[in-house]
Amino acid sequence: MTTSSQRQTAPAGELDDRVALRLRQGGVRYTGGRRRVVRSLAAVEGPMSAAELTERLDESVPLSSLYRSLTVLAGAGVLDRSHDASGVARFELSEWLGGHHHHLVCLECGAVDDVDLNEADEEALSTIASRVAVSKSFTEVGHRIDIEGICSKCS
C-alpha cells in the first residue's frame, strides 16, 4: 500500500497559503490538525487511508477527529476522496493543489502510484474525454485513467 513517483511540488508555505485561503472562503478554520493532514498528504504520492494517516501523524490523533478533518477538507475541495479495492476511503490533494495525474493500481497489493502524462498524450486524452462527455450531454468536471495491473514489486 505504499507508493512512489515524481511530481512538481510547490513550496510548503505556498501550499498552506493556498489551502488557508480556500478554507477561509469556505468559512472554516485552518487548524493545526488540518494543517498536519494537508502536509502529510503533500509529502506522499498516491492517496492515503485514514488509518495510514494516523500512523504518519506521530501525535496520536483520534480517528474520529481525523475523519472530521478529512471530511471538512474534502468538502472544501482541498482533498479528493476515492476508494481502494476493498472499499476503504483514500484521500489525496485535489488536482488544483497536487496537479492533474492518473493512477496505476496494483491488483496484487493495492498500491496506487501517480503518473503524469506528457503534454501530447494528455491533450489527446482530454480531447477524447470531452468528446464523449459532449455526446452524452454530460458536463465534464474531470477525468482520469486508471491503469490496472501488477506493480514491479509484486510481479
For its own copies, give the closer residue by CB, 15 or 112.
112
Residue with cell 498500491: 111
Number of residues this chain uses to bind DNA (CB under 7 A): 24
Enclosing H/E stretch for 81 = strand 79-83
- Nearest distance from residue 105's CB to DNA, in Å? 17
- Counting contacts by CB under 8 A, is residue 128 touching its own copies? yes
Q: What distance in Å separates the CA atoms of residue 39 and residue 100, rounded to the nearest whole number?
A: 18
State the amino acid at position 120 in one-letter form. A
Spatial CA neighbour of 83 closest among 95, 91, 73, 93: 91
Contact 49, 90 (CB under 8 A): yes
Q: Which does 137 bind (CB under 5 to 8 A by kind): its own copies, DNA, none?
A: its own copies
Is residue 141 a contact residue for its own copies (CB under 8 A)?
Answer: yes
**From 56-64, 99-107, 123-131, 138-146, span contacting DNA (CB under 7 A):** 56-64
Query: What is the C-alpha separation between 138 and 63, in angstroms, rounded?
Result: 37
Nearer to DNA, 70 or 93 (CB): 70
Residues sharing a CB contact under 8 Å with residue 50, sequence separation 6 or more, in sequence order: 63, 66, 67, 70, 89, 91
Q: In the stretch 54-93, what mask flags binding to its own copies with x, by CB under 8 A?
A: ---------------------------x-x-x-xxx----
Residues of this chain that bind its own copies (CB under 8 A): 81, 83, 85, 87-89, 102, 104, 106-107, 113, 115, 117, 121, 124-125, 128-129, 131-133, 136-152, 155
